[in-house]
Amino acid sequence: MDFRISADDRVGAQPKKASKPRQTAKAEAKPRKGARVEPSLGQASSMFSTGERPVGSSGNGPKGGGKPPRRGKASTPRGNKPRKSRSGGFLMGLLWWGFAACLWGGIAVIGIIVYYGAQLPSSNTWAVPDRPPNIRILAADGSLISNRGQTGGEAVTYRELPYYVPAAIIASEDRRFMSHFGVDPIGMASVVLEMIKARGVTRGASTITQQVAKNLFLTPDQTLGRKVQEAILAVWLEQNYTKEEILELYMNRVYFGAGATGIEAAAQTYFGVSARNLSLGQAAMLAGILPAPSAYNPKSSPERAIERQRLSLNAMASEGYITAEEATAAQIDPNQSVRTRVAGSESYVADWVESLMTAYIGDIESDVIVQTTIDYKMQKDAEFIVREQVAAEGGKRGFTQGALVAMDVDGKVRAMVGGVDYQKSQYNRAVTAKRQPGSTFKPFVYMAAMEKGYTPDTLAEDAQFDYNGWSPRNASGKYAGTVTLRQGLAYSINTIAARLAIDVTPQAVIDVATRMGISSELIAVPSIALGTQEVNLLELTSAYAPFANGGMGVIPNVITRIESKAGDVLYEASDAGPGRVVAPDVLAKMDDMLRTAVEVGTGKRANIGGWEVGGKTGTTQDAKDALFIGFTSAMVTGVWLGNDDATKTTLSGGNVPATIWSQFMTKALAGKQAAPIPGGSYEGQLVSQPVVDPNTGQVIIDPNTGQPQVQYVDAATGLPVQTVTDPATGQVVQIDPNTGQPIGAGVQPLQSGQDLTAGAGLPAGGLIIDANGQQIDPTTGLPVGQIVTDQAIDPVTGFPLQAQSNGVGQAPIDPNTGLPMVLVIDPATGQQVWVPSAPAQAPQQIQQQAPANDNPRTLMDLIFGN
């Protein structure tokens, strides 16, 4: 600033008298417009208020001076404007730039949303994908065995669950779930502040709806684009689904650890209950798992799971879902371990059932319920007995694994153990594994011999021999000389079984084994007699069922019914089976020998009180496998013990396997009435057979139905019989040729004079008249007096014979002699044919069994013709 100083301003100078200012001075006092005004010393300053004066000044201002400033206001020289406050300008600038930043930030956010949203498919194509179907597997009594499928549990609805189950999830995962629009800005802001304070990531900010969107539509990649798309889809979900539906989607598809996807799978896995029956404490623990399923689940980290449960309960209390007292009461004592469900041997059954589903109903598109034949108590008894015996004897005898299959005599599987510990090994040693059956295969060799004409009393030589370089030996190294076949099977003599297989041919043995139920591929070599070819325990056990049920083949079955969740029947088991596979006389001989094997032979440990028991032990080379297959009139059970790597043991089929069999069967048969093993009589049984054209050997097709013609034969005689369908039972019954009446109750015969086509059944006696007035023979159903041409084969010439029926149910008449023809067995085909009575006789069967008393022929005699 420029100061002007005069002489009067010096120290000690006297001020001059004031003179009248000149015009020029006056003009100077008044500044030009826009000119700078400089303050001068000696004049009143605007910084002072009224009443304050500088030292040496008079009370009045100079004459001609300006007016004094108004009270309360400072006098400001014209042209001296006050400066603006710097703080006010900064705030205004800050507001301006904040607004601009928000505007441009909003534009950027919109641009990002549009950019990543454009990468999604058109919204009109968005749809919630179907949840992977679940297979719910039930025991025979309806109890749950297991769930199978990608999720491990069925879907449950929101309203099926106790109120505190969804409440626990909301309180733990998304407290504002019921009020936000899919994205929670408040929650996001709180998470950001929390992470700023913690200087790191603390927790996610995704809502339940966002998690559903991610799980349903997106990959788990943690990228900006994925998060933006997740938010877009979350808003879409909220617009198209109710809160309950979104929460239901979440609960049924979220992962809870330990292979459990969905609330039902988690409840079953961790607590062995349905989600519908979860307690408050259990629900809170499941909700606590969700932030980190692998780290917080009660199987891997029980202590963490308990702590997470406490936090979930406190969150529920703070949100008002439960009281503080309820939260405290529901907590599990930290000193108490969490009890979770352990997958037992029933899981082997569940795996087997799951593997069969495609074959039964094709591709599974929705949840299904499978009813099985499994008796849950028997299943747990079998599991316990196998596990205990392996634990008690395995260390001493060098084996680590065991398997068991138990079924009713009609093939319904009641229990199956595929290994000692499913948690450690899911390999099913009862169904999947194939091992050598050893001597348990010998009954099929003996059965082939019985069908050839041998008997249990036929003698055979137990001695070493060589057959084309093959020389079988007994495991004991000892040989008994001449023994009966009954003794040979009872004591499991290798040389006897080998001689029989050579005599009947290995192919005949395979034919018998296949007919009885062995489905594995077998090679026709003599060593098959010693059980050297691999089969599984399931098929081997089922192949013994005909010995127990009277000779009828069975197909092992574990599934009785498959339904959709809506109750539609998708599959229902049939009682149909292979029919008779063992002739009664052969069956009687086999049961005789197999009972002896248990009574006095290698299977003595398998005896159980009050029941007839048949069975056979089996031990392979170096005792790598040890088996016992046994049966009563009620049940067939097979046991296998050994090592997965087929290492040597000190087992035999007659020790630990027979012990396990006896212990299990004692429990399984408890409370049942003991009954003898049926003998397999043919009496009263009818067998359906297709009608074959004797000229071409082709099945005759009924021109009216387009289906093969079928005839019924008496299983005891092999002769065709007249049949009728019982209207009361729907069963086919035989007509008595003497009386014309159906054999069996429930058939209502036609009355005399009634048209045959008017109802089912035949009259009780006498002739009937059809609608055309024609008399009908009640035995044959043919018009009386009508001659029917029939074909028969001459066993001598092989040419068809022209025969005639007399129309009243008698044998065909030979047109050359006028005599009735007779029924014989064609030696070339084994079929029954009509032949003239005079020239032809039924061929005599070769007797291959020893005489009752004196001079019995040995097996060596029969084989080599001595």
Catalytic residues: 173, 439
Helix (H, G, I), strand (E, B) or coil at 522: coil
Secondary structure of 721-734 in the HEC alphabet? ECEEECCCCCCEEE
Contacts for 222 with CB less than 8 Å, ≥ 6 apart: none
Residue type, 834: W
Query: Regarding beta strands 368-372 and 134-138, do their DSSP bridges make them parallel or antiparallel, or are they unpaired?
Result: parallel
Which tokens hold the place of 225?
A: 């684009």
The Cα 219–Cα 599 span in angstroms is 67
Distance CA 396, CA 807 (A): 76
Q: Which of 481, 508, 511 is nearest to 495 (CA)?
A: 481
Find out whether 557 and 686 touch, Cβ atoms under 8 Å. no
User: Both tokens of residue 119?
Assistant: 């990468």
- Between helix 376-397 and helix 656-668 the angle, nearest 10°, is 160
Contact 293, 256 (CB under 8 A): yes
The helices-and-strands tally (H runs, E runs) of the chain is 23, 25
Backbone angles phi, psi at 789, to 5 degrees: -80, 135
Query: Cα separation of 145 and 119, whole Å?
Result: 45
Residue indicated by tokens 């089912």: 760
Q: Are 377 and 346 in contact (CB under 8 A)?
A: no
Distances in Å between the alpha carbon of 50 and those of 67, 68, 69, 71, 759? 12, 8, 8, 7, 138
CA distance readout (Å), 696 to 687, 691, 798:
23, 12, 13
Cα distance between residue 67 and residue 765, in whole Å:
156
CA distances from 533 to 437, 520, 540, 546 (A): 7, 9, 12, 21
Amino acid letter, residue 828: A
